[in-house]
Amino acid sequence: MEKIGLIAGNRKFPILFSQAAKKKDVEIIAVAIKGDTSRVLSKYVSKIRWISLAEFSKLFDYFKSEGITKVVMAGQISPRRLFSREIEKDVQLKTLLDNIKDKKADTIFGAIAKKLADNGIELLDSTIFLDEYMPKKGVLTVREPSFDTWEDVAFGFKLAKEIAGLDIGQTVAVKNKAIVAVEAFEGTDNLIRRAGIVGKAGITVVKVSKPKQDLRFDIPVVGLNTIKSLIRAKAACLAIEAGKTLFIDKEVSLKLAEKKNLAIVAI
């Protein structure tokens, strides 16, 4: 049986990946981050090693000891932790972050990918087993956006692509062709909360991939938490990029969106 390593971050992405890998008869050896990774992950992997960010460099030796030569990164590490004192306690991680040109997501993860390669470990596309979770073009809910909302979707898509190209964020909120909020390091759910306060009811949120998206890391992900945040913000529509966005808990998310009159489209 093939073995693949998993560097597991937060939320459901690592669990979804592990479940999909199991269906393909692939054994998963995971490294989980204390304080971020769900304890539920242990049910879906063959082995799991829990480390803190202060022990980050241990993952290289752990994968080597398990004979792992291919690894996937799934799920985020809470951004605030990259500025915490934990980083100071791991010399390799601190040195890695101190020596990169900036703290953009692609720069950070690219440096980690190089560090893995230096240790004889290849970083794979994180969507390798997950094609069925990436919706194709179309209206995903029964409810379709209004004409004005479609115009906001088109307006927001162009803006989101430009922001993503600068590696600032991958999501924007717009209303009546006005920019309400732009995602930065805080993540999509916090962007939605902020946009709901500023724009009030009727915002449209657009989430895209980067123009040169590296599918090994930082791919766009939406799920039930995203939908709940949109409902609390009284949003009119969520637009995601077709074929390039991972939609977790899609069925239950779409049912909830229908109930709350939220339109969801893949464009």
Q: What is the DSSP string of the chain?
A: -EEEEEEE-SSSHHHHHHHHHHHTTEEEEEEEETTTS-GGGGGSSSEEEEE-GGGTTHHHHHHHHTT--EEEEESPPPGGGGGSGGGGG-HHHHHHHHHSS---HHHHHHHHHHHHHHTT-EEPPTTTT-GGGSPPSEE-SSSPPPHHHHHHHHHHHHHHHHHHHTTS-SEEEEETTEEEEE--TT-HHHHHHHHHHHH-TT-EEEE---TT--TTS---EE-HHHHHHHHHTT-SEEEE-TTT-EETTHHHHHHHHHHTT-EEEE-
pLDDT tens per residue across span 24-57: 999 999 999 988 899 999 999 999 999 987 888 8
Q: What is the pLDDT of residue 139?
A: 98
User: pLDDT band at 80, cuts 50/70/90?
Assistant: low
Of 95, 123, 151, the domain-final residue = 123
Residue 129 lies in a domain: no
Of 68, 96, 123, the domain-final residue = 123
Residue 245 lies in a domain: yes
Structural domain boundaries enclosing 36? 2-123
Q: What is the pLDDT of residue 236?
A: 98
Whether 79 and 60 share a structural domain: yes
The Cα–Cα gap between 223 and 33 comes to 21
Whether 239 and 149 share a structural domain: yes
Whether 111 and 157 share a structural domain: no
Whether 146 and 262 share a structural domain: yes
pTM value is: 0.84
Residue 197 lies in a domain: yes
- Nearest residue to 258 (alpha-carbon basis) of 242, 233, 238: 238
**Count of domains for the chain:** 2
Q: What is the pLDDT of residue 84?
A: 66
Q: What is the pLDDT of residue 133?
A: 93
Q: What CATH code is carried by the domain that includes residue 96?
A: 3.40.50.20
Terminus-to-terminus CA distance in the chain, angstroms? 38
Q: Choose the most confident range, by mean pLDDT, from 116-125, 132-141, 206-215.
A: 132-141
Whether 143 and 184 share a structural domain: yes
pLDDT tens per residue across span 82-91: 666 767 777 7
Of 97, 123, 149, the domain-final residue = 123
Mean pLDDT, rounded, of the chain: 91
Compute the average pLDDT of residues 203-216.
91
Residue 193 lies in a domain: yes
Whether 113 and 235 share a structural domain: no
Whether 12 and 74 share a structural domain: yes
pLDDT tens per residue across span 222-253: 999 999 999 999 999 999 999 999 999 999 99
pLDDT of 121 above 70: yes
Residue 128 lies in a domain: no
Whether 42 and 87 share a structural domain: yes
